[in-house]
Chains A and B, each alone.
Chain A
Amino acid sequence: MTPQLVVFFVLAALAVGGALSLIFQKHPIHSALSLIVVMVSLAGLYLLMGAEFVAAVQIIVYGGAIMVLFVFVIMLLNAGVEEHTSISKFAGFPGLLLAFALTGFIAATIARSTDSVQAVAQPGNMASTRDLSTMIFRDFVYPFELTSFLILVAVLGAIVLAQREKA
């Protein structure tokens, strides 16, 4: 039971706990806080794998910008506790079963396969930021420019959509 395995199980339990809390909480702000817990624990897992730049970007962008946007929208729209509607409880049961079947099938297939992906011996220095940025700006420079264009379009779209109507 190496220390890395212990840390992995703690972070994994935190992530799954956060995801379960997202499902079972009634107020959307509590769901948002649970999702933040999931993201921070995933950043911890990235650090455990040696991907330090991705971990930092995950916290800064996902945890510090996207989820802040979610929390702002929940506060501004004054979202309350979810109301009861006339959904059929009977139809929910096969849905739950099928979702578990899907997850179980994927997980079992992965857990049983031992030869397709070989586990690595040690992390090494493979994830230095310099190598990552060299790869982005040399091999992936076209997707990079396209994503910057995409962000510009998204910003313009969000501003136009969320304006108050001039009346």
Chain B
Amino acid sequence: MVPTNYYLVLSAILFGLGVLAFIFKRNIITIFMSIELMLNAVNLAFVAFSQAMHKLDGQVFVLFVIVVAAAEAAVGLAIIILTARNRQSLNVERVDLLKL
């Protein structure tokens, strides 16, 4: 049986890698994908705890996180499309004026 700590350490590593990708990448879409990676790492921690404590609350919460991530991805990508259309570039450093 795999100890729960192993899952939690993996979740921490994935979260850290998501933070790294968020800081160092310049493409808006890649930054958005790193947010999804961080959400996935948190989901893994939830399911690991749900298994350790023999309660289903963790898995229910994971389902809600997935649903919210889907809604957020839809709206976020629409905003990204608008920004790319207006600034003609997907580089996040070009979006540096307060007025488009």
Interface residues of A (CB under 8 A from B): 2, 4-5, 8, 12, 15-16, 19-20, 22-23, 28, 31-32, 35, 38-39, 42, 45-46, 48-51, 53-54, 57-58, 61-62, 65-66, 69-70, 73-74, 76-77, 79, 82-83, 85, 87, 92, 95-96, 99-100, 102-103, 106-107, 110-111, 113-114, 117-124, 126-127, 131-132, 135-136, 139-140, 143, 147, 150-151, 153-155, 157-158, 161-162
Contacts and interface: CB of A to CB of B under 8 A. Distances in A.
Contact of B60 (A100, A107, A140): A140
A73 B80 contact: yes
A22 B24 contact: no
A144 to B, nearest CB: 8
Given A107-B12, A147-B64, A147-B67, A49 B5 contact: no
A117 to B, nearest CB: 5
Contact of B71 (A12, A39, A122, A151): A151
B27 A106 contact: no
A150 B71 contact: yes
A70 B90 contact: no
B71 to A, nearest CB: 4
What are the 4 tightest A-B residue pairs by CB atom distance, in nearest-first order? A103-B16, A154-B71, A161-B78, A19-B17
20 contacts: A12-B10, A16-B10, A19-B13, A19-B37, A42-B43, A45-B44, A49-B7, A69-B74, A70-B33, A92-B24, A103-B12, A106-B15, A110-B12, A123-B51, A132-B59, A135-B60, A147-B67, A150-B68, A153-B71, A158-B74
Contacts of B37: 19, 22, 35, 38
A120 B53 CA distance: 8
A31 B25 CA distance: 11
* B: contact size bracket: 35 or more
B1 A2 contact: yes
A157 B75 CA distance: 6
Given A8-B2, A62-B66, A154-B72, A118 B27 contact: no
B20 A158 contact: no
